[in-house]
Structure 1
């Protein structure tokens, strides 16, 4: 019989791509995660994880196992919740900014439904400013979004720089020519930061593509239409960072959690603590 603790380490490793981050998420030592993976591989007689100095990824056998591992952990969580005297139930309305959805949300939701299967989640994806407006109107219980530097609302999760991205930075227009921008529609924090930085440097610009979906913006940038601004850890594949001497420095952005007053504190705290424990900049991993 497979050990659920071993499977939990295996799933966390698949989600994070890092032994260090998997251990931090589970609240155990990195050596313990390593032991769990080794014992799981011994029990199955197969290598499940491939690791070198640059990356951690699943082998073909590991990919075959991951769906079953999630299923076993989900079932265990549902059974435990069903017979727990302190089980949480109810409805929670969560708003998440567009760029977070594309990079972080899957792992968060996987753990949430396993730990709290009796909570019904109503998910809204929109620009950060729109989410704040919806929350002020009483339509959202919890918001995970960005804020400008200097703002104080919400529970700070982390801060990181915004960067300019393009398919081929060497093909950008010469200085003095209008820079083609690909951006979310107003109100957008990244759009505003980009425009203010260019105006402050007296560089001309024009919006060549506007879309409310990050996948749409990414497609336009990959097609070579112009320059896209995103947090460094959320840079889409297929785009390169523009060298610092080509365009003005962009200010950092902060990611925060904001709960609405009057909501079910237990429900909000459950999801807030889960998000806070998982979300962090995703940098290249070497462990």
Structure 2
């Protein structure tokens, strides 16, 4: 039988890419982390990690084990929440950016609903910048969205690579300013994109601003210019420009969960589910 302690250590090492960081998160010595990995590898008879003085990487068997480890740990978390905790009742006011709502949010809501069917969920969808304002004002309990630049708060969940998207077949005229279609401020994505362009001295012109990603997608489908989305949310009818390799490279953005200072037990439980879900690490979509 696979030891869940070993699996948890392995999953933490894989997410942090460091034995030292994993030990810090788990409150274990580095030698204990190494011992857990060694015993797990001996148990399955496969090499799971390749490690030298400068890097740490998963083997093919390690990647497969990580999938199983996350499933097992998530199932154990759900079982513990259901059978060790009192039956929860109440309401959770959850804020989610619309890219998360269109991506991984449904699986999280399903997991929460299965274990806590008596809790009412009130979901607010909006730009991450607005969600921070709602959280600080006390009108929502939790938010799932992108980490605001310069804000250290939040539990890291996964990262998403930003991509240029335009009407399929678009070739950008590189002699002209980039025609941008962006969500309105306050937007984490907007700030990240403009900061990245400024850093490389690129020229741009905002040709369309929308209050939602749906509006940006509509404008891009209309051929107005380029928009930006996380790689797991490419819009129908849109694709990267033909000459995308010549465009400024876009960064990854970090998606986080963040709770208010004082949480109800239902809200605290949903935050725990997020923290222990398979979103941790590199969520690549379904």
TM score, norm. by length of structure 1: 0.65
Q: Which residue in 1 is equivalent to 2:123?
A: 123
Unaligned runs of 5+ in 1: 1-18, 30-76
Q: What's the secondary structure of 1:171's corresponding residue?
A: coil
Q: Which residue in 1 is equivalent to 2:107?
A: 107
- Superposed displacement of residue 244, structure 1: 5.2
Describe how 1:272-287 pairs up with structure 2 within 5 A: 272-276=271-275, 277-279=277-279, 281-283=282-284
- Superposed displacement of residue 85, structure 1: 7.5
Q: Which residue in 2 is equivalent to 1:191?
A: 190
Q: Is the Cα–Cα contact under 8 Å of residues 108 and 274 in structure 2 kept in the other structure?
A: yes
Q: Which residue in 1 is equivalent to 2:228?
A: 229
Q: CA RMSD in A?
A: 3.1
2: distance between equivalents of 1:85 and 1:146?
Answer: 30
2: distance between equivalents of 1:222 and 1:250?
Answer: 21
Q: Aligned residue pairs: how many?
A: 215
Relative to structure 1, the CA distance from residue 85 to residue 147 in structure 2 (aligned partners, 3 Å threshold; closer, same or farther) is: closer
- Superposed displacement of residue 91, structure 1: 1.1
Q: Is the Cα–Cα contact under 8 Å of residues 149 and 252 in structure 1 kept in the other structure?
A: no
Could you list the per-position Cα deviations for residues 17-36 of structure 1 after superposition, in whole angstroms to 9, with x for gaps in the alignment? xx98985564179xxxxxxx
Q: Which residue in 2 is equivalent to 1:145?
A: 145
Q: Is the Cα–Cα contact under 8 Å of residues 149 and 253 in structure 1 kept in the other structure?
A: no
Could you list the per-position Cα deviations for residues 194-218 of structure 1 after superposition, in whole angstroms to 9, with x for gaps in the alignment? 2222333333322222222222222
Q: What's the secondary structure of 1:121's corresponding residue?
A: strand
TM score, norm. by length of structure 2: 0.65
1: distance between equivalents of 2:85 and 2:101?
Answer: 33
2: distance between equivalents of 1:130 and 1:170?
Answer: 32
- Superposed displacement of residue 282, structure 1: 4.6
Query: Is the deviation greater in 175-184 or in 196-205?
Result: 196-205
Query: Is the deviation greater in 111-120 or in 272-281?
Result: 272-281
Describe how 1:42-61 pairs up with structure 2 within 5 A: none
